[in-house]
Amino acid sequence: MLIRFTGVSHHYAGSTTPVVRDLDLSLTEDRIGVIGANGSGKSTFARMLNGLIVPSQGTVTINGLETAGDGREVRRQVGFCFTDPDSQIVMPTVAEDVAFGLRRRGLSKAEIASRVTAILTAHGLQGYEEHPAHLLSAGQKQMLALSSILVTDPEILVMDEPTTLLDLRNTRRVVAAINAMRQNVILVTHHLDLLADFERVLVFDESRLVFDGLPDKAIEHYLGLME
């Protein structure tokens, strides 16, 4: 994975105040955390990683593809997991939701069914294939959302506070899922303890990247800001 931000600033339509400023950054590590106060620009940053947001200044490239021009291919390589799984569950049943991401790939019905079952089993949802997706618990929905993303096998996974709605058990499941993934993971979170084993943590404050380093030091810096 090689992600590059070059001269990136972003302001939303209708405003001239940047919510992300002057970002120059290369990201290559397997596990990268993103922390910072509410409104500091973390979600805006995260959404720039898969072209959901194209910066108003500067460029973001993912493995050489610029998000501004190659959004489709970028989104094939970068999966995005939202805080609220309801916003990404699109089909009536659990199995259909997972299979949705595999459409138009020319796979046989048997191949699709076997991939769906495998990914659901890996995320604690075996036996729920025919279950109405909207009737799952919040934690199960998050595991479904994760399954539906991972079944498409993106190279990179961006997660924006995926554990915020979860109890401790499901938080641990998500953490275990992250640890088991072959994907590069970029995790935005307010749960600082999830980042202990990460290779790199970015701290945002008032629209700027104010610290970039190892988890212990980054958390110390963030706690200092919160004083």
Contacting residues toward ligand ATP, per CB under 6 A = 12, 19, 36, 38-44
- Among ligand ATP, Mg ion, none, the one that 39 touches (CB under a kind-dependent 5 to 8 A) is ligand ATP
| Minimum separation from the CB atom of position 108 to ligand ATP (A) | 41
- Pick one of Mg ion, ligand ATP, none as the site partner of residue 139 (Cβ within 5 to 8 A by kind): none
**Sole window of 41-49, 108-116, 138-146, 215-223 interacting with Mg ion (rule: CB under 5 A):** 41-49
For the bound state, the minimum distance from the C-beta of residue 142 to ligand ATP, rounded and expressed in Å, comes to 17
Q: How far is the CB of 85 from Mg ion (least distance, A)?
A: 15
Select from 91, 141, 106 the least CA-distant residue to 120.
141
Binding flag, residue 43, Mg ion (CB under 5 A) = yes
Query: In the complex, what is the shortest distance from the CB of residue 38 to Mg ion, in angstroms, rounded to a whole number?
Result: 7
Interface size with Mg ion, residues (CB under 5 A): 1
Query: DSSP alpha helices (H): ranges in 34-184?
Result: 42-48, 71-77, 94-100, 109-122, 138-150, 168-180
- Cα 87 from Cα 213, distance rounded (Å): 32
Smaller CB distance to Mg ion: residue 43 or 148?
A: 43
The two structure tokens encoding residue 212: 């970039």
The DSSP line for 170-222 is HHHHHHHHHHH-SSEEEEE-S-GGGGTT-SEEEEEETTEEEEEE-HHHHHHHH
Whole-angstrom Cα distance, residue 226 to residue 215?
A: 16
**Which letter, b or e, does each residue of 125-140 get, where b requires 16 or more Cβ atoms within 10 Å of its Cβ?**
beebbebebeebeebb
| C-alpha to C-alpha distance for 138 and 212, rounded to whole angstroms | 32
10 binds, among Mg ion, ligand ATP, none (CB under 5 to 8 A by kind): none
With CB cut-offs between 5 and 8 Å by kind, which of ligand ATP, Mg ion, none does residue 16 bind?
none
Q: Minimal distance in Å, beta carbon 104 to ligand ATP?
A: 30
Q: How many CB atoms lie within 10 A of CB 2?
A: 11
Q: How far apart are CA 145 and CA 39, in angstroms?
A: 25
Query: Which residue has its beta carbon closest to Mg ion?
Result: 43
Q: How far is the CB of 149 from ligand ATP (least distance, A)?
A: 19
- Which residue's Cβ lies closest to ligand ATP? 43
Q: Which residues in this chain contact Mg ion in the complex, by CB under 5 A?
A: 43
